[in-house]
C-alpha cells in the first residue's frame, strides 16, 4: 500500500504545539515509507475563519522546515485543497445518501430543535440531541417540500441498535454502541455548507488518504466517520489517534501552561530545530541513548509502532535544554544572524549598525554560546561590548580579603597588561597573566577580578580575554582609567 496521509487544520486560530505535533507525525510517517503528505485547509467554519490564520499556518511550517507534497499553495492531483472551493462535491455526495436511503432531509426549525433540547433537559432524559423527527418522513413528501422552497438540512441515518467497530493502530480494537453516537447528525446545512464530518470523510476518500493520524480528542467522532464511510460503500482509512499532550499538572496543554502558539516560541528565541526535535519525542521513541535528531533522521526512524499510548508531558525545561544544545551547534555567523533581530529590537547598535559592530557581534558569539538557552538572551549578554557600562560601586571591584588601596594597585597592574592581552590568543593570554601575577606576588583571581569589573561592568561576564580582544586596547584602557578615577575618588 502506498501511504498517503494529511494534516487538515481549520484556520480559526494560530498554529500551536498540538497541531504541529500532528502535522509532524503525519509528515514523518509518510516520508518514512516513501509516501505522500498532504495539507488540506478545512475552512468551513466561516464565523471564525481569518486569512491571518492561513498566513500564520504557512509562516509556521516554512519556519519549521516542513513541506507538504500536495497542498493549496503547490497544487496536486486532488486539487483544490481548500474545502470552501469544494462545496459542489459535498452537495453531490450528500444527495447520493438521499438516493440510497442512507440520509434524509430534515425540515425542523431552530425553534423546534431548541424546544426539544429544553424538554430533554427538564425531563432529565438519557436521550439527548436530535429526536429523529423527520427520519420517517416519506422521501416523496420530503422531495416535494424541498422543491417548494422549504429550508432543510441533510442528516445521516445512523443505523439503530447496532455497534460500530474499528481498529486503531495505537489503541487497538474499539467498539462503540450506535445509541451513544450523536443522533442522525447534520451533514449538509440549509445554506449548502457541509459540516466537518461530511467534508472530512468525502475529502479523505477522494484524496486517497490511507492513514488518518490525529489527536485523541477526535476519537469520539471516529465511529460516526466509519458509519459515513460505510454508508457511501467506501473502505475507511486506517486510524491512529495520537497520545494527548499534557501539561505537568496532568491537564491538557493550554495557554495556562505558558506559550503554546508557535509564534510565542519564535518570539522567545526558540530555534525550529529544537522545537521539532522535542515535539517529535512527545509520545514517540526512536533510539535508546540518543536525544538529538535531524528532521531527516526522524523521517527514517519514525513508525507507528514507536508511539506510546500514555499521554506525553510537555516539559519546558527539557525544551530549553534542547534549545541550548542547538544554539551551541550553530556557526558563529549563523548564530549572529539569528540573534540580530533581537539585538536591533534592544537598540544594541544605536541608530545604524556599522561594519565594525557587525564584526564584533559575530566575534562575540563564541563568548556567550555556552551561557544562553534562548536567542533573546544574547543582546543583554554582549551589551557591554557595544556601549559603556556604568562603573559599579567600589565594593564590586574589591577581591575577597582585600581592600580599596590594594584593589587600585591590582587594577593599575592589570592596565599595564592590556596591550599584550588584546593581541594574544586565549592560551597565550592565560599563560602571560598568570606569569605576571606570580611575578607581582598576587593571586591570579585577585588580579583578574578588578579588570573584569572595569571592562564589563560586572563580576560575572563572558570570557575576559575574548572580551579584551573584541573591545581593543584603546577602549579597554579608557574603561580602566574611568574605573581608576572613580575608585580614587572614593
Which sequence spans correspond to the domains of the chain? 86-242, 255-328, 331-385, 394-488
CATH 3.90.800.10 fits 86-242, yes or no: yes
Strand partners, 261: 16
- How, if at all, do strands 36-39 and 4-7 pair? parallel
Q: Beta-carbon neighbour count of residue 250 at 10 Å?
A: 8
Query: How many Å apart are CA 443 and CA 450, to the nearest integer?
Result: 12
Cell of 208: 486517497
Residues of the chain scoring pLDDT < 70:
255-259
Radius of gyration of the chain (CA): 33
State residue 400's pLDDT score. Answer: 92
488 by Cβ neighbours in 10 Å (0-12 / 13-18 / 19+) ranks as exposed
Question: CA-CA distance, 338 to 328, in Å (whole number)?
Answer: 13
If you search the block for the grid coordinates 422552497, which residue do you land on? 149
Q: Model confidence over 155-165: pLDDT tens digits?
A: 999 999 899 99
DSSP at 75: B
- Long-range CB pairs of 217-220 (<8 Å, 24+ gap) are 217/244, 219/168, 219/171, 219/174
Q: How many CB atoms are closer than 10 A to CB 352?
A: 6
Distance CA 74, CA 68 (A): 9
- Which cell goes with 181? 453516537
The CATH class given to the 331-385 domain equals: mainly alpha
State the pLDDT at residue 49. 87
Pairwise CA distance, residues 243 & 89, whole Å:
33
Cβ count within 10 A of residue 92: 10
Q: Which residues sit opposite 242 in a β-bridge?
A: 215
**Cβ atoms within 10 A of the Cβ of 328, count?**
13
Contact 50, 18 (CB under 8 A): no
Q: What is the pLDDT of residues 334-357, one digit of tens each?
A: 999 999 999 999 999 988 899 999
Instruction: Specify the pLDDT at position 45.
Output: 84
Cβ count near 373 (within 10 Å): 19
Please write down the long-range contacts of 410-413, taking CB distance under 8 Å and 24 or more positions apart: 410/442, 410/446, 410/447, 410/449, 410/450, 411/450, 411/451, 411/454, 411/480, 411/483, 411/484, 411/487, 412/484, 413/440, 413/442, 413/447
Contact (Cβ atoms closer than 8 angstroms) between residue 188 and residue 94: yes
Quick: pLDDT tens for 243-283: 999 888 878 887 666 667 899 999 999 999 999 999 999 99
Distance (Å, rounded) from C-alpha 90 to C-alpha 451? Answer: 75
What was the pLDDT predicted at 102?
Answer: 97
* Pairing between β-strand 153-156 and β-strand 103-106 as defined by DSSP bridges: antiparallel
Whole-number pLDDT of residue 255 = 63
Q: Which CATH number fits domain 394-488: 3.40.50.620, 3.90.1530.10, 2.60.120.430, 1.10.10.350?
A: 1.10.10.350
Per-position b or e across 120-158, b if 16+ CB within 10 A of its CB:
eeeeeeeeeebbbebeebeeeebeebeeeeeebbbbbbb
Q: Is 330 a catalytic residue?
A: no
State the CATH architecture for 255-328. Answer: Orthogonal Bundle (1.10)
Question: Which residues fall within 8 angstroms of residue 67, CB to CB, at 6 or more apart?
Answer: 61
Cβ(164)–Cβ(178) below 8 Å: yes
* Residue from 251, 255, 318, 434 carrying the catalytic annotation: 255
For residues 178 and 161, the answer to whether their CB atoms sit within 8 Å is: yes
**Rounded to 5°, angle at Cα 133 from 129 and 135:** 105
Tell me if the pTM is above 0.75. Answer: yes
The C-alpha angle 435, 438, 441, rounded to 5 degrees, equals 150
Question: Who's near 312: CB < 8 A, 6+ residues apart?
Answer: 243, 244, 245, 246, 281, 282, 283
Distance of CA 410 to the CA centre of its chain: 51
Amino acid at each position: 500500500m502506498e501511504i498517503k496521509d494529511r494534516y487538515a487544520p481549520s484556520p480559526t486560530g494560530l498554529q500551536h504545539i498540538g497541531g504541529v505535533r500532528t502535522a509532524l507525525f503525519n509528515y514523518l510517517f509518510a516520508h518514512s515509507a516513501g509516501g505522500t503528505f498532504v495539507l488540506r485547509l478545512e475552512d468551513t467554519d466561516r464565523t471564525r475563519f481569518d486569512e491571518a490564520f492561513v498566513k500564520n499556518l504557512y509562516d509556521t511550517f516554512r519556519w519549521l522546515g516542513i513541506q507538504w507534497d500536495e497542498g493549496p499553495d503547490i497544487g496536486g492531483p486532488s486539487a483544490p485543497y481548500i474545502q470552501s472551493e469544494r462545496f459542489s462535491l459535498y452537495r453531490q455526495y450528500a444527495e447520493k445518501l438521499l438516493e440510497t436511503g442512507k440520509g434524509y432531509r430534515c425540515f425542523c426549525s431552530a425553534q423546534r430543535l431548541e424546544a426539544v433540547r429544553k424538554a430533554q433537559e427538564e425531563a432529565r432524559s438519557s436521550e439527548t440531541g436530535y429526536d429523529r423527527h423527520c427520519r420517517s418522513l416519506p422521501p416523496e413528501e420530503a422531495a416535494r417540500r424541498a422543491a417548494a422552497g422549504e429550508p432543510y438540512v441533510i442528516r445521516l441515518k445512523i443505523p439503530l441498535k447496532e455497534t460500530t467497530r474499528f481498529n486503531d493502530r495505537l489503541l487497538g480494537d474499539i467498539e462503540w454502541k450506535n445509541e451513544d453516537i450523536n443522533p442522525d447528525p447534520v451533514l449538509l446545512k440549509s445554506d449548502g455548507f457541509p459540516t466537518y464530518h461530511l467534508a472530512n470523510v468525502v475529502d479523505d476518500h477522494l484524496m486517497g488518504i490511507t492513514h488518518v493520524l490525529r489527536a485523541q480528542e477526535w476519537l469520539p467522532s471516529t465511529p460516526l466517520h466509519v458509519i459515513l464511510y460505510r454508508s457511501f460503500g467506501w473502505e475507511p482509512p486506517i486510524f491512529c489517534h495520537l497520545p494527548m499532550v499534557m501539561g505537568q499538572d496532568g491537564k491538557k496543554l493550554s495557554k495556562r501552561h505558558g506559550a503554546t502558539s508557535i509564534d510565542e516560541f519564535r518570539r522567545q528565541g526558540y530555534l525550529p530545530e529544537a522545537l521539532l526535535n522535542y515535539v517529535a519525542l512527545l509520545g514517540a521513541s526512536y533510539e535508546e541513548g540518543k536525544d538529538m535528531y535531524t528532521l531527516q533522521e526522524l523521517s527514517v526512524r519514525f513508525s507507528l509502532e514507536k508511539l506510546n499510548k500514555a499521554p506525553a508531558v510537555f516539559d519546558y525545561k527539557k525544551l530549553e535544554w534542547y534549545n541550548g544544545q542547538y544554539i551551541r551547534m550553530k556557526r558563529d555567523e549563523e548564530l549572529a544572524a539569528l540573534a540580530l533581530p533581537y539585538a536591533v529590537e534592544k537598540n544594541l547598535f544605536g541608530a545604524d549598525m556599522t561594519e565594525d559592530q557587525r564584526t564584533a557581534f559575530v566575534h562575540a558569539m563564541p563568548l556567550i554560546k555556552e551561557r544562553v538557552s534562548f536567542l533573546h538572551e544574547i543582546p543583554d549578554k554582549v551589551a557591554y561590548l557595544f556601549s559603556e557600562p556604568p562603573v559599579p560601586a567600589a565594593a564590586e571591584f574589591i577581591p575577597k580579603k582585600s581592600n580599596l588601596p590594594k584593589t587600585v594597585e591590582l587594577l593599575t597592574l592589570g592596565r599595564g597588561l592590556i596591550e599584550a592581552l588584546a593581541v594574544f590568543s586565549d592560551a597565550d593570554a592565560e599563560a602571560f597573566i598568570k606569569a605576571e601575577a606570580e611575578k607581582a606576588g598576587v593571586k591570579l583571581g585577585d588580579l583578574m577580578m578588578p579588570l573584569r569589573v572595569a571592562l564589563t561592568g560586572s563580576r560575572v561576564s563572558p570570557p575576559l580575554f575574548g572580551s579584551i580582544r573584541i573591545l581593543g586596547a584603546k577602549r579597554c584602557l579608557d574603561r580602566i582609567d574611568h574605573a581608576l578615577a572613580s575608585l580614587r575618588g572614593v
